[in-house]
């Protein structure tokens, strides 16, 4: 079961996040999906996930996400560490395009149920991203 659950995460990263193939969201994400790291101002659940992917893809059209290290799977949970890279070429959270490159990390855990994502918990280093965009002073704490 653990290897199958890791494969679901790989498909999420490669086919949905990197390839922007939102056409497979229904196949990969449960209709009752719960995201415990919702994007501000977007609806909850699967619809919010789809919209947040679109927000990022529009703001960072060259976005590429890499799974770092080895995923850890136990029972119905998969834990993984990501690096997000892209160039800010579209509006993002009210920030006009800066053409600056960004690179930040996130640590995520998903619960997989019947081969689909059922829940997500995550912690992205958005502070670093905002520093790289010039919104927050680089040495601000």
Residue ranges, the chain, pLDDT below 70: 139-141
What's the pLDDT score for residue 18?
95
Could you list the residue range(s) of the whole structural domain that residue 83 is in?
Answer: 2-132
| Domain total in the chain | 1
Q: Checking DSSP bridges between strand 64-74 and strand 77-87, what pairing results, if any?
A: antiparallel
What's the pLDDT score for residue 128?
94
Residue 80 lies in a domain: yes
What's the pLDDT score for residue 141?
59
Residue 94 lies in a domain: yes
Residue 140 lies in a domain: no
Residue 137 lies in a domain: no
């Amino acid at each position: 079961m653990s290897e199958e659950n890791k494969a679901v995460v790989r498909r999420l990263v490669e086919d949905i996040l990197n390839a922007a193939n939102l056409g497979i969201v229904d196949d990969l994400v449960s209709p009752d999906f719960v995201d415990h790291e919702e994007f501000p101002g977007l609806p909850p659940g699967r619809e919010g996930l789809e919209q947040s992917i679109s927000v990022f893809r529009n703001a960072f059209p060259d976005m590429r996400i890499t799974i770092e290290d080895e995923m850890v799977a136990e029972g119905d949970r998969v834990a993984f560490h990501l690096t997000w890279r892209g160039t800010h070429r579209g509006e993002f959270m009210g920030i006009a395009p800066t053409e600056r490159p960004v690179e930040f990390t996130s640590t995520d855990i998903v619960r997989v149920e019947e081969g689909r994502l059922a829940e997500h918990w995550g912690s992205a280093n958005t502070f670093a991203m905002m520093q790289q965009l010039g919104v927050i002073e680089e040495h601000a704490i």
